[in-house]
Amino acid sequence: MTRQQLVEQIKKKKSYLCVGLDTDITKIPAHLQSHPDAIFEFNKAIIDATKDLCVSYKINTAFYEAHGLKGWEAMQKTVEYIPQEIFTIADAKRGDIGNTSTQYAKAFFEALPFDSITVAPYMGEDSVAPFLEYNGKWAIVLGLTSNKGASDFELQKTGEAYLYEKVLSTVSKWGSPENLMFVIGATQAEEFTNIRKITPDHFYLVPGVGAQGGSLKDISEKAMNKDCGLLVNASRAIIYASGKEDFADAARKVAQEYQQEMAVYLDRLNN
């Protein structure tokens, strides 16, 4: 998917919501547990209930890989079920020496039809470059993450700058805002303004609202750019909103609350 197509979808739906399909078999409601295809059935119901409210789905591959072949099959069926116009993210956090990253890119962009993949930048340019060679596909590189461990490396100084600042300024030269995004945790509010200064034009994938306590308001007010430039992810807060038979309706309700708040911030952008 091109940047322009993504921006058009955000405008049309008045949403920059990314629903995270971190589908944990132990949290699937009891009535679906015995279904032979429980993960896919759960995802299908979530997608049907939220697809008009979000512009992206993020499939966290760990939750599928944990089930071996059956999990990969559920992941493939899920990504193929997502409507074409919705931006798909393989949250796989890959990155290795060049020829290995080339195989990861084939796995997620050719064998599976994802629009994008999350990538760890630690191994440098040759580990990220293979993901940037595909037209209409994206690498989403970890910038400043939402977790506590962000302070172990990302928020350590290397000379004058934090390591994450160096990652943003260096990695942004490897691709363009047309094929490269950054992961910025919603819990890192003090850094949002600075982050936007370093990378004014890029889209950010922003996890950490909902279950991790980050604020949609903070990221929206401090880090939107003229094209919105944000995909805000919530996983558990949406897909396990009820944990019961009415899980899809409950997911829709929470997704709608996010979307309605997003519409307000988008309106401000246009006025």
Ligand X SMILES: O=C(O)c1cc(=O)[nH]c(=O)n1[C@@H]1O[C@H](COP(=O)(O)O)[C@@H](O)[C@H]1O
Catalytic residues: 93
- When the beta carbons of 121 and 210 are compared against ligand X, the nearer one is 210
> What is the CB neighbour count within 10 angstroms for residue 270?
7
Nearest Cα to Cα of residue 237 among 193, 186, 201: 186
Binding ligand X by CB under 6 A: which of 147, 158, 169, 176? Answer: 147
Number of residues that bind ligand X (CB under 6 A): 20
Q: Tokens in use for 192?
A: 């949002």
- Distance, in Å, from the CA atom of 236 to the CA atom of 242, rounded to the nearest integer, reads 10
SS3 177: coil
By beta-carbon proximity to ligand X, the closer residue of 11 and 93 is 93
Among 43, 56, 116, 118, binds ligand X (CB under 6 A): 118
Residue of 207, 231, 247, 259 interacting with ligand X (CB under 6 A): 207
Q: How far is the CB of 147 from ligand X (least distance, A)?
A: 6
210 scored as a contact of ligand X (CB under 6 A): yes
Site for ligand X in 18-77 (CB under 6 A): 20, 22, 60
Site pattern 220..239 for ligand X (x: CB under 6 A):
-------------xxxxx--
CB atoms within 10 A of CB 226: 10
Among 183, 195, 248, 251, binds ligand X (CB under 6 A): 183
Q: At what angle do helices 68-81 and 38-50 cross, to 10 degrees?
A: 20
DSSP designation for 250: H
Least gap, CB of 249 to ligand X (angstroms): 19
Closest to 51 in 3D by CA, of 90, 15, 24: 15
Residue 141 makes contact with ligand X by CB under 6 A: no
Q: Is 232 helix (H, G, I), strand (E, B) or coil?
A: strand
∠ Cα 179 93 172 (to 5°): 35
Q: Does 208 bind ligand X (CB under 6 A)?
A: yes
Residues 182 and 170: their CA atoms lie apart, in Å, by: 12
Verify binding: residue 212, ligand X, rule CB under 6 A.
yes
Q: Contact positions toward ligand X, by CB under 6 A?
A: 20, 22, 60, 91, 118, 145-147, 183, 185, 207-208, 210-212, 233-237
